[in-house]
């Protein structure tokens, strides 16, 4: 990943100094995190050859705002509620949260700093245009494509109906799969390329919660190919989400049988796993 020569931790601290006074606990976190990052640079850590330093796995920043049990309840399909309605509500909520977190650090995500759309472990995501052409684009361009596509999709009454008697299309679940998959790409990029800035702005617990929500929903309804989410498996374990996901997956098999959708969810394997946006 390219690096803007004008960007330094000192310049970021100067930006933060212009913000309102930070709480003591946040200032302590910022000071610790800047020191941690600087030590890694002084030690000569080469991310291009040895992989990511994965500062998001440090115990100091492993927090989220919702207990494990509440996360399971959050994504569990209530009895009698329409399956598509449930997916729609969670999909729109995830979009809002991912868009909000990315928006706070977007000034640090430029074509010069992030010439490729990357995730942890030097993962690179490619974009498929409307003609099916695979293209490598800078991260901000990729994310703009993602957000534009999702905003257009959820605003389409024929796909995300809001009016009485309007029905969801037969392809709705596959559309949700693509949206959740693209949101995962954005979350992966935030952890890989902008976690320092996320922490310095005190938003790491919010990002962790968004990741936990996305992960729980994915495991509950089998929305993303497991091979694709493997790059953040270590974070899933660090946040103690693995046990939750196993139980959610078991519940999924039971409840979706009642809604006649379990077969489709368990056998879904049409998603392209090459690390791009193609559905």
114 annotated to bind ligand:
yes
Nearest Cα neighbor of 57 from 74, 72, 43, 40 is 40
Helix, strand, coil percentages, rounded to 5, for the chain: 60, 5, 35
Give DSSP secondary structure letters for 227-269.
HHHGGGHHHHHHTT-HHHHHHHHHHHHHHHHHTT-HHHHHH--
240 annotated to bind ligand:
no
> By the 8 A CB rule, do 61 and 33 touch?
yes
218 annotated to bind ligand:
no
Residue in this structure with the two tokens 């979009």, named with its chain if needed: 95
189 annotated to bind ligand:
yes
In angstroms, the CA 137 to CA 251 distance is 39
Query: How distant, in Å, are the alpha carbons of 3, 214, 252 from that of 262?
Result: 46, 19, 8
Question: Annotated binding site for Zn(2+), which residues?
Answer: 109, 114, 189, 194
Residues at the binding site are: 109, 114, 189, 194
């Amino acid at each position: 990943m390219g690096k803007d020569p004008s960007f330094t931790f000192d310049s970021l601290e100067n930006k933060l100094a212009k913000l309102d006074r930070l709480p003591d606990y946040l200032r302590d976190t910022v000071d610790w995190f800047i020191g941690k990052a600087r030590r890694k640079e002084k030690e000569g850590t080469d991310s291009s050859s040895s992989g990511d330093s994965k500062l998001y796995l440090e115990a100091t920043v492993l927090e989220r705002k919702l207990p494990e049990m509440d996360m399971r309840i959050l994504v569990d399909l209530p009895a009698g509620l329409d399956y598509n309605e449930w997916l729609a509500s969670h999909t729109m909520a995830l979009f809002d949260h991912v868009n909000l977190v990315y928006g706070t650090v977007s000034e640090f995500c430029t074509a010069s700093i992030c010439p490729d759309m990357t995730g942890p472990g030097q993962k690179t995501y490619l974009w498929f245009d409307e003609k099916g052409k695979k293209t490598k684009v800078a991260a901000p361009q990729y994310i703009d494509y993602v957000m534009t596509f999702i905003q257009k999709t959820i605003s389409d009454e024929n796909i995300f109906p809001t009016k009485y008697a309007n029905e969801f299309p037969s392809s709705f679940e596959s559309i949700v799969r693509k949206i959740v998959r693209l949101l995962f790409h954005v979350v992966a990029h935030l952890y890989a390329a902008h976690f320092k800035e996320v922490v310095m702005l005190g938003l790491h617990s919010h990002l962790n919660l968004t990741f936990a929500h996305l992960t729980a929903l994915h495991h509950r309804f089998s929305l993303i190919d497991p091979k694709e989410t493997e790059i953040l498996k270590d974070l899933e374990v660090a946040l103690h989400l693995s046990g939750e996901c196993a139980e959610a997956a078991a519940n999924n098999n039971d409840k979706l049988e009642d809604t006649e959708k379990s077969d489709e969810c368990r056998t879904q394997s049409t998603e392209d796993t090459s690390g791009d946006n193609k559905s």
